[in-house]
Amino acid sequence: MSTRFTIARLGSQGDGIANAEGGEVFVPFTLPGETVTAARLKDRATLMSVLEASPLRIDPACRHFTECGGCALQHYEAAAYQQWKRERVVQALKAKGIACEIAALVPCAPHTRRRVTFSARRTEAGMLLGFVRALSSEIIPIEECPISLPAIVAALDKLRALAGLVCATPKAFHMTVTVTASGLDIAVHDAGKLGDHQRRIASNFAMAEGLARLSVDGEIVVEPKKPVVQFGSVAVAVPPGAFLQATEAAEQAMAGLVGQHLSRARKVADLFAGCGSFALRLAMRSEVHAVEGDGPALAALDRAFRFANGLKRVTIERRDLFRRPLTFKELNAFDGLVFDPPRAGAEDQSKQIARSDVPLVAAVSCNPVTLARDLRILVDGGYTLKSVTPIDQFLWSPHVEAVALLEKPKRRR
């Protein structure tokens, strides 16, 4: 049974929110001001029809929109979408009492995402390869993806075939595909244990199709060419499943903001350094100490530094910064710092930074809520927030990246 709703605003996940009897109702794929009919179940509703459309409603870019679970906002006009995404950062900071000029959103172009995680499962009709429908375990097979690099879309048939070769489970599993300078890097997870014969067939297929690497649960099955990505002037051979920023353009935008802010620093700490997307660029001007909990990522960073030319000294430290953040006394050895934690943020590390004398700090985050919490700690510790720049590298999703730049006067000793 459908109910008529008027959409008042968008929620933090991009769903339309209607004020109804019994409380707010979330209606995906709707826009503020629209009148719609939807089938309600508690506080969520499935859109049935749009009776009065917003003037900001546009045709979606993909035939799978509303089904595959990957995009939430393809139906929103570009300028309004970008303003909404910037507002997510504005509101998060406002909720923590932080006043700062927020720059315009750095936009994300279609067909630029270099890293995509597919879901796959064997069925009686064959292999399913696609994305999971929102709030469901159903895999929607896809034939196109306007956010992804063309190299990924062009390989969909071969990826589906490869999924069939590595599948050793009746359950759903995941296949992460990364575009590198060497070709596609395929990392399979939870597909079951490969037998020797299955491994040989999958290996032969990967080589015949020109894949750079195939790994299963972190173990390399075959690696005809080391997958390489470029961080500034430095080539890095990334390990299986290594974290990379979703788009190269967003990474360059973030690195540019961080690099300019820390350009006067002679000695820089890079916390949650990953494979070195900031550290190896910063080393063009500064000595860098890179701290990261993931051993293979840190080893890749170190190896890239040792084979690079023209860099200042880069030292590494493997350390779980959630369990054992760098203390303020350790941080006082640096005159610049960048930290880029996972979505949970870096609350304990921020408390140590707040107590430190580091004059220049760049905070990078993919979660406005935890970024605002961490910035509140730094501001309360004496830092001045100079700028915040939202960056869209998760096109048509509710997720937004941001780079915050802070300064603190150096204390006399």
Strands (E), 191-248: 213-216, 219-222, 228-231, 234-237
Give the closest residue to 87 by CA, choosing from 11, 19, 8, 27. Answer: 11
Closest Cα partner for 184 from 217, 163, 207?
207
User: For residues 102 and 120, what is the distance between their CA atoms, to the nearest angstrom?
Assistant: 40
- Separation of alpha carbons 151 and 144, rounded Å: 11
Would you call 251 helix, strand, or coil by DSSP? Answer: helix
* Interior angle at CA 101, CA 100 and CA 103, nearest 5: 135
Q: Is residue 340 annotated as involved in ligand binding?
A: yes
Q: How far apart are CA 384 and CA 8, in angstroms?
A: 36
Q: Is residue 43 part of an annotated ligand binding site?
A: no
| DSSP state for residue 70 in the 8-state scheme | S
> Strand 16-20 relative to strand 2-10: parallel, antiparallel, unpaired?
antiparallel
Query: 91: annotated binding-site residue?
Result: no
Percent of the chain that is helix, strand, coil (3-state, to 5): 25, 30, 45
Distance CA 203, CA 165 (A): 9
> Of 71, 108, 145, 366, which residue is the catalytic one?
366
Catalytic residue flag (residue 145): no
**R_g over Cα of the chain:** 23
Token code pair at residue 225: 């060419």
Tell me the pairing of strands 228-231 and 336-339.
unpaired
349 carries a ligand binding annotation: no
Is residue 157 within 8 Å of residue 184, measured between CB atoms? Answer: no
Tokens of residue 352, six digits: 């140590």
Would you mind telling me the total number of residues written for the chain in this entry?
413
Report the binding-site residues for S-adenosyl-L-methionine: 245, 272, 292, 340
Report the binding-site residues: 245, 272, 292, 340
Q: Which residues have a catalytic role annotated?
A: 366
